[in-house]
Amino acid sequence: MSVTAAFIGLGIMGYPMAGHLANAGVEVRVWNRSPEKAQKWAGQYPGEACDSIASTVAEADFVFTCVGADHDLVEVYEGPNGIIANALPGAVLVDHTTASAGIAEQLAQLARARNLEFIDAPVSGGQQGAENGQLTIMCGGETDPFSQAKPLMEHYSKALNLMGPVGSGQKTKMVNQIAIAGLVQGLSEALHFAEEADLDVRKVVEVISKGAAQSWQMENRSGTMIDGEFEHGFAVNWMRKDLAICLEEARKNGARIPVAALVDQFYGDVQQMGGHRWDTSSLIQRLRKKS
């Protein structure tokens, strides 16, 4: 039996993710706020571009979303023209947006009232991971709908886990972002120190990357950081959005995350330097900037 999927949101992540589904033989219908992006996608992949959310989701067994933030989710899910009002009863709604746990719980409650299933499923791996089908996906929801959606998500993931009830995926993504913030700042300080100490920084990395200092960030970002190239990943603007979510959740649950709070301020400095769209490894530029 053929499977029909709707995909709402064709940004740098959603565009290739929807493409992996289409290339795997899933019948995919897409919608994007800018219609030209949807038309471009339909010209590249075996799927259909639709002119409204309602027409996109009306016959879909699964509805995937990947938009910007909480307010974008409200816009596409709620209201008479939104996903929840127009999806097929019994459909599984899967949201890949990095958003708050609260909005996930809100949408799940609205979905259940209309006999729909909801899974919050934020992703990690960036644009490269989306394009290569190698994302890590952290899910929150019930076991049965997760099991139904899992084979589809496997087309663009390398790791895929159900972390608990709705909201658990978003909370797990917060853990991910808190860890990354500290790692990137530590790596930035280390490389900057090596530069100021007149060391051959690449030789330093070659040596220390074989020991306890090794990390994904060191392996994949140290070279571009040394070269001052910051067009290789997740943008500073989006990281600040994510850290704001982390800080708000920490205020609710009592967690103390002082390093994440400090690094968030450092990213604010990078924005003031004009680095809104630089990738997150651009923290090192803030240290290089002479007062």
Residue 291, pLDDT score:
47
Phi/psi of residue 74, nearest 5 degrees: -60, -40
CATH number of this structure's domain 4-164, picked from the four choices 3.40.50.720, 3.30.1660.40, 3.30.300.30, 3.40.50.300: 3.40.50.720
Name the residue type at position 70. Answer: D
Buried b (16+ CB within 10 A) or exposed e, 16-43: bbbbbbbbbebbbbbbbbeeebbeebbe
Strand-strand pairing, 157-164 and 123-124:
unpaired
Q: In the prediction, which pLDDT does 289 show?
A: 77
Which homologous superfamily is 171-288 in? N-(1-d-carboxylethyl)-l-norvaline Dehydrogenase; domain 2 (1.10.1040.10)
Check if 173 is active-site: yes
Q: Which pLDDT belongs to residue 1?
A: 57
Domain with CATH 3.40.50.720 in the chain: 4-164
d(CA 135, CA 234): 13
Ranges of residues in the chain with a pLDDT under 50 are 291
pLDDT at 290: 65
Q: Which one is catalytic: 37, 173, 241, 252?
A: 173
What are the two backbone dihedrals, phi and then psi, of residue 111, each rounded to the nearest 5 degrees?
A: -65, -45
- The model's pTM is 0.94
Beta bridge partners of 6: 29, 63
* Domain limits, CATH 1.10.1040.10, in the chain: 171-288
CA distance 204 to 216: 16
CB-facing half-sphere around the CA of 212: CA atoms within 13 A: 0
